């Protein structure tokens, strides 16, 4: 699936199914009857987005060092490309930035607050080359694009970043790109606070993409210093999941050596799980 349009259609389908699942989860929670031993709970809506101030806040927000919460909306805002917002614990929302396409669009991932006090995040689309960006934004709302994906020929640096970043112990940021890379199956990358990006690994480097493909989620850094993540496709079991493969769990060193730890659907009937397809 090397056609970018196919990738976008696939990921939009995933978003649609996730939206349905989220709505269902809310209905189920509200429908659970109170029991005699259960304590009464108070639910307060802090803010309802109206599209002008953003729409579709996919990612969880974070509480920053100032005590306020910061997050993103994947759509809405003046240009419809999403926003970065701040909201106080009492519910006062401030739009810090509205994406205009030039600086990216569709920030599906949330933010991290780095050691310098600023926030860092990614967008899934647009930017200088149409395939997403990595950005820095100050607590007051000044946004700087650090990198636009697909800056390299044939998008060998990756494209369409739906996952957020982590700041590792070395001070750099690490993340995944959903598609692109040397083989079209996505990448793991490192980016410095000043915006220098290095591709650590291109998925689908092995025959049949047995090393995985399409990393939708982000990374975690473990106590051993290595990074761990998942891919939504590829893996050793490539005949299931509509031909995309069923996904993997992987480990990757800071220098870029990748080890596939597990390929989903390794058990008959896939009781061990399978990637979104």
pTM: 0.87
Which of 148, 166, 191 lies at the terminal end of a domain, its last residue? 148
Sheet order of strands, 258-263 included: 220-221, 227-231, 248-252, 258-263
The answer to whether residue 17 sits within a structural domain is no
Q: Containing domain of residue 74, as a range?
A: 51-148
Q: Dihedral angle at the C-alpha atoms of 7, 9, 13, 16, nearest 10 degrees? A: 120
Same domain membership, residue 162 and residue 235: yes
Q: Which residues contact 140 (CB under 8 A, 6 or more apart)?
A: 96
pLDDT tens track for 91-137: 999 999 999 999 999 999 999 999 999 999 999 999 999 999 999 99
User: Following DSSP, what letter does each residue of 236-264 receive, concatenated?
Assistant: S--SSGGGT---EEEEE-TT--EEEEEES
The pLDDT value recorded for residue 1 is: 41
Q: What integer pLDDT is reported at residue 68 of this predicted model?
A: 98
**pLDDT tens-place string over residues 229-263:** 999 999 998 776 777 789 999 999 999 999 999 99
The residue out of 148, 181, 202 marking a domain boundary is 148
Return the closest-CA partner of residue 156 out of 217, 201, 219.
201
Same domain? 144 vs 166: no
25 within some domain: no
Is residue 22 within 8 Å of 28, Cβ to Cβ?
no
In a domain, 84, yes or no: yes
Asked if residue 5 belongs to a domain, the reply is no
Q: Is 4 a member of any domain?
A: no
Q: How far is CA 147 from CA 64, 110, 193, 269, in A?
A: 24, 17, 10, 42
| Domain count along the chain | 2
- Rounded distance between C-alpha atoms, residue 11 and residue 24, angstroms: 20
- Report the alpha-carbon distance of residue 143 to residue 165 in Å, rounded: 16
Shared domain for 156 and 275, answered yes or no, is yes
Same domain, 130 and 56: yes
Give the domain-ending residue among 113, 128, 148.
148
If asked whether residues 144 and 196 sit together in one domain, one would say no
- pLDDT means per 10 residues, the chain with 277 residues, are 47 47 31 51 92 95 97 97 97 98 97 98 97 98 98 96 97 98 97 98 95 96 98 86 86 98 90 77
Per-residue pLDDT, 5:
45
One domain, residues 165 and 194: yes
């Amino acid at each position: 699936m090397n056609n970018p349009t196919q990738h976008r259609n696939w990921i939009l389908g995933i978003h649609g199914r996730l939206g349905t699942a989220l709505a269902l989860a809310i209905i189920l929670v509200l429908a659970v009857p109170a029991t005699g031993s259960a304590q009464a709970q108070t639910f307060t809506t802090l803010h309802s987005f109206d599209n002008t101030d953003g729409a579709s806040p996919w990612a969880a927000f974070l509480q920053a060092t100032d005590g306020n919460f910061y997050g993103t909306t994947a759509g809405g805002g003046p240009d419809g490309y999403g926003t970065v917002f701040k909201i106080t614990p009492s519910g006062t929302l401030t739009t810090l930035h509205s994406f205009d396409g030039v600086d990216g669009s569709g920030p599906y991932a949330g933010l991290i607050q780095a050691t310098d006090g600023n926030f860092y995040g990614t967008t899934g689309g647009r930017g200088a080359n149409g395939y997403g960006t990595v950005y820095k934004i100050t607590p007051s709302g000044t946004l700087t694009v650090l990198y636009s994906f697909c800056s390299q020929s044939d998008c060998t640096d990756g494209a369409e970043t739906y996952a957020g970043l982590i700041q590792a112990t070395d001070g750099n940021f690490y993340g995944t790109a959903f598609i692109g890379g040397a083989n079209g199956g996505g990448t793991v990358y490192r980016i410095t606070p000043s915006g220098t990006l290095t591709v650590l690994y291109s998925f689908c480097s092995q025959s049949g993409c047995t090393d995985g493909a399409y990393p939708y989620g982000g990374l975690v850094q473990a106590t051993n210093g290595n990074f761990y993540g998942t891919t939504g496709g590829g893996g050793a079991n490539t005949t299931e999941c509509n031909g995309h493969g069923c996904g993997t769990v992987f480990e990757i060193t800071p220098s870029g050596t990748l080890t596939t730890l597990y390929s989903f659907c390794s058990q008959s009937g896939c009781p061990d799980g399978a990637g979104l397809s």
